[in-house]
Structure 1
Amino acid sequence: MSVFSLSIMPYITASIVIFVAQLMSDRVKEFAASENGKIKLEQIKRLLTVFLVFTQSMTLSSILLSQNVNGEPLATVDGFTFYVSTFLSLLTGTFIVVWLANIMTFVGFGAGTSLIIMFGILSSMPSNFFTIASMVDAGSATVVSVAALIAIILFSFVMVIYFENAGRRIATLKNDKYGGSRPSYVTFKANPIGMMPPIFAAIVISMFVTTASAFSSLMPDLIVQVKNRLVGGTPEFIVLFSILTFCFGFALKGTMLNPKKAANGLMMSGQVIRSLRVGAETERYLGRLFQALTFIACCYLVILCTIPEMINAYLGIPFYLGGTSILIMVSTASEMRKNIFGMMEGNAYKKVGQAFLK
């Protein structure tokens, strides 16, 4: 087995726990704003990572020790030694990946954790293409179904690029230096809640499925049947995933989008929404706007994350590239592109400055 089996996912899960704590508690958010608070939260995050690796390694060790091949045990070492060696190996692999992610963040390519996830998704693409090609050669998949799958994936990429760069413009009047006002506008992102709602929804479903699988002998038959139905592409999975995405989306809206704060920000910058009075009327309008944007964003996230899985399930082609993966890849690649071009422009200006000084 690979020592990188868990990859960076335990660290990502710990980061999500800290992120939720910041959303739920103003005290934690204020603590994270200070330099000392960032260091403390990073230490807590790594301790949570160790705990998550420990629990996952214990579960994995128990499963491996219970399996055999032709009557021979799968694990060459048993007992306490196997548990310890598995835990240390997986912990080492996870923190090597975390170190690589921090290096990429420090260099300036973008968020290192997101880049690691993107590279992990891309690393599985060649094997998927070879599998699909062998299925077409064997006759278990048709060229039409493969073309339909590729078309849906390309459409998903275009939808993410368009929607993540879209915005809702609001016409305003802005004070000028001559004491009058001039037409202006303020733009709000079409997806103000980001990509966290479907990720939270997927984590909740996967935690339920994992727990139900680990303790299937102790679970009622109804729970086991529900667990077996929560597979990508099934109606039960799509309904539960959609409900959880909407719930997490509106929960994040309540913590990330504050109409009163946005209205005060417009007033402080000298901007007034046309045909609206400053104060309560502007606040009510922004509240309705944020509700509408959140609803549209949740619909977009549900469509993006469920359509590819439905297509995969009904076409019978094992192409493991869901909507969440597409969203992460496009967002991360766009951010990396901006950072690389920014670094190139900075180096160009630096060379011009050095030539001028010479």
Structure 2
Amino acid sequence: MASRADNIASSLSLANFSKATELKNRIWFTVGALIVFRFLSFVPLPGVNPLILESLYSKTQGGILDLFNTFSGGSLSRMSLIALGVMPYITASIVVQLAASLHPALMALKKEGEAGRKKLNQYTRYGTVGLCALQGWFLAVSLEAYGASSGLQAVVDPGIMFRVGAVVSLVGGTMFLLWLGEQITSRGIGNGVSLIIMAGIVAQMPKFASNLGQAYSAGDTGSILIVSLIALIIGMILLICFMERAQRRLLIQYPKRATQRGMMQADRSHLPLKLNTAGVIPPIFASSLLLLPLTITQFAGNSLNPESTMGKI
């Protein structure tokens, strides 16, 4: 279902863009909301030492935390208020959608139309709060355990107050992102949650370009490899956009109608069906499952060898 902003943009030419006041207001609102998201990614979690956290994150790169950090725009490595990002909401959405296909009561809600959809969205938000609280608690406990095993205090004042404060801050940050995404969807352009994820990924591009330039300056990477990598990224973006916008049009033919003046010609129309109805949720969920064993192995290795962790620091 196309949004109001999409309908306005589809019937608008570049020559008349200056007259489209509503579309410009929606664009500026979206840009402002994404700027607020980027500012929040630099607000640190109360009671943590960011220098120690940087050394902790450098030892767990390549796992599921690296994926979460990419989607949150580097917030997890800085342990900001929105360190969890919107991943708990995505996980809760997957669980509710699967439950709606298996549980009879939820399946009945799904068939009730708009009222059932609102009820399922409410259950998704409840699940998001529960997942945020659980993940925030384990994250706070892990930070305290890391400081105790490595000899470096990652938490300034460990204890129950720090854990409760971390859980409240992380839950509030994630729920604020969901509210911000809903505002973008209703008052901006596009899907708010998807735009927040995209902004987090795009925010990592300057760092990627800087590392690529440093590797080229040091002679570790050749110019042919860099050009091939850039061409591959552009090709992937074009392919993803093509598949995202692809539609399969089902022909709908209406029968002839009899009127006082005679038979009327049959009308023809089409029903556009999106080719990729699932969106980006299945790849994200599959990537999380594939990287989960690697993350568990990394944390198990660090907890079993605290001396080696101190040597690396």
- Using the size of structure 2 for normalisation, the TM-score is 0.58
Of the three residues 176, 185, 189, the one matched with 1:96 is: 176
- SS of equivalent to 2:217: helix
Checking the alignment, whether the CA contact within 8 Å between 2:90 and 2:281 is kept in structure 1 is no
- Which piece of structure 1 moves more, 161-170 or 54-63? 161-170
Give the CA RMSD over aligned residues.
Answer: 3.3
The equivalences for 1:136-285 within 5 A come to: 136-168=216-248, 175-177=255-257, 178=263, 189-191=274-276, 193-210=278-295
Checking the alignment, whether the CA contact within 8 Å between 1:31 and 1:37 is kept in structure 2 is yes
Checking the alignment, whether the CA contact within 8 Å between 2:216 and 2:222 is kept in structure 1 is yes
- SS of equivalent to 1:78: coil
Is 1:127 the counterpart of 2:207 in the alignment? yes
Residues 49 and 181 (structure 1), Cα distance of their counterparts in 2 relative to 1, 3 Å cut = closer
Tell me the residue number matched to 1:2: 80
Q: Following TM superposition, by how much is the alpha carbon of 1:169 offset from its aligned partner in structure 2, in angstroms?
A: 5.7
Tell me the residue number matched to 1:316: none
Q: Following TM superposition, by how much is the alpha carbon of 1:148 offset from its aligned partner in structure 2, in angstroms?
A: 0.8
Q: Following TM superposition, by how much is the alpha carbon of 1:71 offset from its aligned partner in structure 2, in angstroms?
A: 3.3
The letter of the residue matching 1:78 is P
| Count of residues paired in the alignment | 218
Checking the alignment, whether the CA contact within 8 Å between 2:109 and 2:119 is kept in structure 1 is no
Is 1:116 the counterpart of 2:196 in the alignment? yes
Identity %: 31
Of the three residues 162, 166, 171, the one matched with 1:86 is: 166
Counterparts of 2:227 and 2:136 in 1: how far apart (Å)? 40
Tell me the residue number matched to 1:44: 123
Checking the alignment, whether the CA contact within 8 Å between 1:12 and 1:113 is kept in structure 2 is no
Q: Following TM superposition, by how much is the alpha carbon of 1:77 offset from its aligned partner in structure 2, in angstroms?
A: 1.2
Specify which structure has the bigger relative contact order, considering alpha-carbon pairs within 8 angstroms and separated by 6 or more residues: 2
- Using the size of structure 1 for normalisation, the TM-score is 0.52
Is 1:20 the counterpart of 2:98 in the alignment? yes
Tell me the residue number matched to 1:53: 132
Tell me the residue number matched to 2:142: 63
Counterparts of 1:199 and 1:72 in 2: how far apart (Å)? 34
Counterparts of 1:57 and 1:188 in 2: how far apart (Å)? 39
The letter of the residue matching 1:16 is I
Counterparts of 2:113 and 2:246 in 1: how far apart (Å)? 33
Counterparts of 2:255 and 2:217 in 1: how far apart (Å)? 68
Tell me the residue number matched to 2:65: none
**Residues 30-81 of structure 1: CA deviation (Å, up to 9, x unaligned):** 4144554344333322221122112222222232112249833221111222
Q: Following TM superposition, by how much is the alpha carbon of 1:149 offset from its aligned partner in structure 2, in angstroms?
A: 0.7
Q: Following TM superposition, by how much is the alpha carbon of 1:147 offset from its aligned partner in structure 2, in angstroms?
A: 0.8
Unaligned runs of 5+ in 2: 1-78, 258-262, 304-313
Residues 130 and 173 (structure 1), Cα distance of their counterparts in 2 relative to 1, 3 Å cut = same
Q: Following TM superposition, by how much is the alpha carbon of 1:217 offset from its aligned partner in structure 2, in angstroms?
A: 10
Residues 88 and 165 (structure 1), Cα distance of their counterparts in 2 relative to 1, 3 Å cut = closer
Counterparts of 2:273 and 2:180 in 1: how far apart (Å)? 34
Residues 46 and 209 (structure 1), Cα distance of their counterparts in 2 relative to 1, 3 Å cut = farther
Tell me the residue number matched to 2:54: none
The letter of the residue matching 2:282 is P
